[in-house]
């Protein structure tokens, strides 16, 4: 630890960091375009210039390491002047077409120009015009808006190492071009470049002109695609107006930065999986007894009857369901002396540069592994009278599926708790509707043994209840109380949602 002075305040900071990183951790804003925590340092946008005492000129905060007794000024007149100048240069050839730009509302250039820029354009020369170009099936490029931060180029060079984009021409005519004849179509991570673009130069065709970002609500969740547990920011459209067509509530998934995991990007498969959560035809919305819709009370009385039968029972947990819901099922099994099993999650062959995609396609598979729950395929007998199966959107392996179906068919009381209608709810006596992952708070344990929190921003429909409500009613006040009990009894540490925070806790 070394002592430095930032804006005349003594700070004790760790050595080896840059000024920008130090300031980010201290919540001091330094505007920047080209710096990205997941990429190498380019230092070409000149937006992060700060004043360092003893240096003849302003220094770029993104590339200057902090040193002992350094004195940094991030808000002096000289720095403000420099920012104004840089913004004026960038805006010389920027169309300022915010009304039609899909980035507006979350655009760095827009924010910085409001905070540090000048209102008036001094240049009288016309701006250069380029055509909007589709660089792949998924991504469009608008050169007019580009600020040449080269984040996209560095992402493709350093992270995916596929080198599709590069800059061509010189000076004011510099622009970004796709040099790969196949475009970006074969890259399973390409859509990240629309997230990391600080302006609206790169965007997703699917989101183009669909929705303005300020009309959506944002929640932070965990990707359900595989056990990697990438962080997502989800845009939800909850404020439906009278004339809006009945679009789904989930507008898009974008990547969220997780500094403690050092992960800033997501795969395209996860990004475009949002449409799975907009389907309504298959959704199980009311409890069903023998295929017929029943009320919550009738379902509750069947559940009571099943749980009071005092016969052997089995609970099949799900790697697709959150820690809290699984733990509610575990609590039931412990109380009634039922046997616990887990299905084997679905595995998929990985695309060529796999990076952070995992083979196991279930977000909570590591909870099952952590608690050493036996596989359902290793089950010795299958004579159970009471069977409870948890399931969610996603798939499990075929041999587990067959085993669970045979269990359900043999049982006297078979109960399935799931989100969408599947083979399970077709072959069971009682099917209980479950909230999906965006509808309730829940935690997931990823492949790096990190417990992370997913926020439910949607809220579940009235007829749907989480499992702990079905089983224990008012014994628990909410999912957080289940997590507290789970962490205390199974992990031996005290955890709550505040402690897990946005970035999770390593177990």
Partner 1 sequence: MKKEVKLSFWDRLYLPAIIVGMGITIKHFFKTLFTRPSNRYTVEFPERKKDLPEWYRGLHRLNTREDGSIKCVACYCCATACPADAIFIEAEDIDDLDEGYPREKRPKQFIIDLHRCIFCGYCEEACPEDAIILTNEYEITQLSREEGLITMEELVKTPKKKMD
Q: DSSP string covering 150-167, please?
A: -HHHHIIIIIS----EEE
Contact 287/296 with Cβ under 8 angstroms? yes
Structure-block tokens of residue 73 = 């000024």
Minimum separation from the CB atom of position 91 to partner 1 (A): 17
Q: Distances in Å between the alpha carbon of 276 and those of 151, 190, 310?
A: 30, 21, 39
C-alpha span between 68 and 2 (Å, rounded): 6
Minimum separation from the CB atom of position 134 to partner 1 (A): 11
Contact 3/11 with Cβ under 8 angstroms? yes
Minimum separation from the CB atom of position 246 to partner 1 (A): 13
**For partner 1, which is the closer residue by CB, 26 or 215?**
215
Element (DSSP H or E) covering residue 139:
strand 139-142
Q: Binding partner 1 by CB under 8 A: which of 8, 9, 241, 381?
A: 241
Minimum separation from the CB atom of position 195 to partner 1 (A): 21
Q: Which parts of 80-119 interact with partner 1 (CB under 8 A)?
A: 97-100
Number of residues located near partner 1, criterion CB under 8 A: 18
C-alpha span between 246 and 242 (Å, rounded): 10
* 124 is a contact residue toward partner 1 (CB under 8 A): no
Exposed, middle or buried by CB within 10 Å (0-12, 13-18, 19+), for 352? exposed
Element (DSSP H or E) covering residue 81:
helix 77-92
**For partner 1, which is the closer residue by CB, 139 or 223?**
139
CA dihedral 248, 252, 258, 262 (to 10 degrees): 140
- Side by side, the strands of the sheet bearing 202-204 are 132-134, 139-142, 202-204
Minimum separation from the CB atom of position 104 to partner 1 (A): 8
* 1 is a contact residue toward partner 1 (CB under 8 A): no
C-alpha span between 464 and 299 (Å, rounded): 12
**For partner 1, which is the closer residue by CB, 67 or 210?**
210
Q: Distances in Å between the alpha carbon of 389 and those of 406, 407, 426, 443?
A: 12, 10, 13, 19
* 129 is a contact residue toward partner 1 (CB under 8 A): yes
* 131 is a contact residue toward partner 1 (CB under 8 A): yes
Phi, psi of 455 (to 5 degrees): -95, 135
* 173 is a contact residue toward partner 1 (CB under 8 A): no
Q: Binding partner 1 by CB under 8 A: which of 3, 25, 67, 210?
A: 210
Q: Binding partner 1 by CB under 8 A: which of 215, 354, 402, 493?
A: 215
Minimum separation from the CB atom of position 256 to partner 1 (A): 25
Q: Which parts of 327-366 interact with partner 1 (CB under 8 A)?
A: none
Neighbours of 246 (CB within 10 A): 7
- Could you give the residue ranges of the DSSP H alpha helices within 356-478? 365-370, 398-410, 423-426, 467-472
* 121 is a contact residue toward partner 1 (CB under 8 A): no
* 247 is a contact residue toward partner 1 (CB under 8 A): no
Minimum separation from the CB atom of position 102 to partner 1 (A): 9
**For partner 1, which is the closer residue by CB, 104 or 177?**
104
* 212 is a contact residue toward partner 1 (CB under 8 A): yes
Minimum separation from the CB atom of position 461 to partner 1 (A): 23
Q: Binding partner 1 by CB under 8 A: which of 10, 57, 242, 349?
A: 242
Q: Binding partner 1 by CB under 8 A: which of 1, 124, 172, 243?
A: 243
**For partner 1, which is the closer residue by CB, 127 or 163?**
127
**For partner 1, which is the closer residue by CB, 132 or 402?**
132
* 123 is a contact residue toward partner 1 (CB under 8 A): no
Q: Which stretch binds partner 1 (CB under 8 A): 8-16, 128-136, 404-412, 443-451?
A: 128-136
**For partner 1, which is the closer residue by CB, 98 or 312?**
98
Q: Which parts of 439-478 interact with partner 1 (CB under 8 A)?
A: none
Task: Select from 267, 282, 360, 322 the least CA-distant residue to 451.
Answer: 322
Q: Which stretch binds partner 1 (CB under 8 A): 6-14, 206-214, 332-340, 439-447?
A: 206-214
Q: Which parts of 263-302 interact with partner 1 (CB under 8 A)?
A: none
**For partner 1, which is the closer residue by CB, 95 or 300?**
95
Exposed, middle or buried by CB within 10 Å (0-12, 13-18, 19+), for 240? exposed
Q: Binding partner 1 by CB under 8 A: which of 27, 214, 246, 281?
A: 214
Residue 4 pairs in a beta bridge with 11
Neighbours of 137 (CB within 10 A): 11
* 16 is a contact residue toward partner 1 (CB under 8 A): no
Minimum separation from the CB atom of position 98 to partner 1 (A): 8
* 132 is a contact residue toward partner 1 (CB under 8 A): yes
Phi, psi of 7 (to 5 degrees): 50, 45
**For partner 1, which is the closer residue by CB, 114 or 214?**
214
Task: Select from 203, 185, 206, 186 the least CA-distant residue to 194.
Answer: 203
Site residues (vs partner 1, CB under 8 A)? 97-100, 129, 131-132, 208-210, 212, 214-215, 241-245
């Amino acid at each position: 630890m070394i002592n430095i002075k930032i804006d005349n305040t003594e700070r004790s900071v760790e050595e080896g960091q840059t000024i920008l990183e130090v300031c980010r951790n201290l919540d001091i804003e330094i505007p920047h375009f080209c710096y990205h925590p997941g990429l190498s340092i380019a230092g070409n946008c000149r937006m992060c210039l700060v004043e360092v005492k003893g240096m003849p000129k302003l220094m770029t905060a993104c590339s200057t390491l902090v040193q002992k007794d350094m004195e940094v000024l991030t808000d002096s007149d000289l720095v403000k002047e420099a920012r104004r100048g840089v913004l004026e240069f960038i805006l010389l050839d920027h169309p300022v077409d915010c009304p039609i730009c899909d980035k507006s509302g979350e655009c760095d250039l827009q924010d910085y120009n409001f905070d540090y820029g000048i209102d008036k354009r001094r240049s009288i020369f016309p701006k250069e015009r380029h055509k909007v170009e589709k660089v792949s099936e998924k991504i469009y490029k608008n050169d007019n808006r580009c600020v040449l931060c080269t984040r996209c180029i560095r992402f493709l060079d350093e992270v995916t190492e596929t080198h599709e984009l590069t800059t061509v021409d010189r000076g004011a005519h510099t622009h970004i071009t796709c040099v790969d004849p196949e475009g970006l179509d074969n890259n399973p991570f390409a859509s990240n470049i629309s997230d990391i673009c600080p302006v609206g130069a790169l965007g997703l065709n699917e989101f183009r002109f669909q929705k303005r970002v300020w009309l959506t609500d944002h929640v932070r969740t965990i990707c359900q695609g595989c056990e990697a547990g990438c962080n997502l920011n989800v845009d939800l459209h909850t404020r439906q107006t009278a004339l809006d067509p009945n679009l789904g509530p989930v507008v898009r998934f974008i990547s969220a930065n997780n500094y403690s995991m050092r992960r800033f990007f997501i795969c395209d498969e996860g990004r475009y999986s949002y449409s799975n959560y907009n389907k309504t035809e298959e959704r199980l919305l009311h409890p069903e007894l023998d295929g017929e819709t029943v009320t919550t009370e009738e379902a509750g009385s069947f559940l009571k009857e099943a749980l009071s039968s005092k016969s052997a029972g089995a609970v099949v947990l799900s790697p697709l369901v959150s820690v809290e819901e699984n733990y509610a099922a575990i609590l039931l099994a412990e109380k009634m002396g039922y046997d616990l099993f887990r299905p084997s999650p679905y595995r998929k062959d990985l695309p060529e540069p796999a990076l952070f995609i995992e083979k196991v396609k279930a977000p909570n598979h590591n909870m099952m592994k952590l608690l050493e729950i036996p596989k359902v395929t290793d089950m010795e007998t299958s004579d159970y009278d009471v069977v409870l199966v948890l399931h969610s959107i996603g798939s499990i392996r075929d041999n587990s599926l067959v085993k669970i179906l045979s269990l359900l068919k043999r049982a006297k009381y078979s109960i399935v708790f799931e989100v969408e209608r599947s083979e399970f709810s077709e072959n069971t006596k009682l099917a209980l509707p479950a909230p999906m992952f965006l509808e309730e708070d829940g935690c997931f344990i990823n492949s790096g043994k990190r417990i992370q929190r997913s926020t439910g921003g949607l809220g579940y429909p009235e007829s749907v209840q989480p499992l702990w409500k079905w089983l224990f009613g008012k014994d628990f006040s909410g999912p957080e109380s289940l997590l507290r009990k789970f962490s205390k009894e199974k992990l031996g540490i005290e955890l709550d949602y505040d402690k897990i925070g946005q970035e999770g806790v390593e177990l």
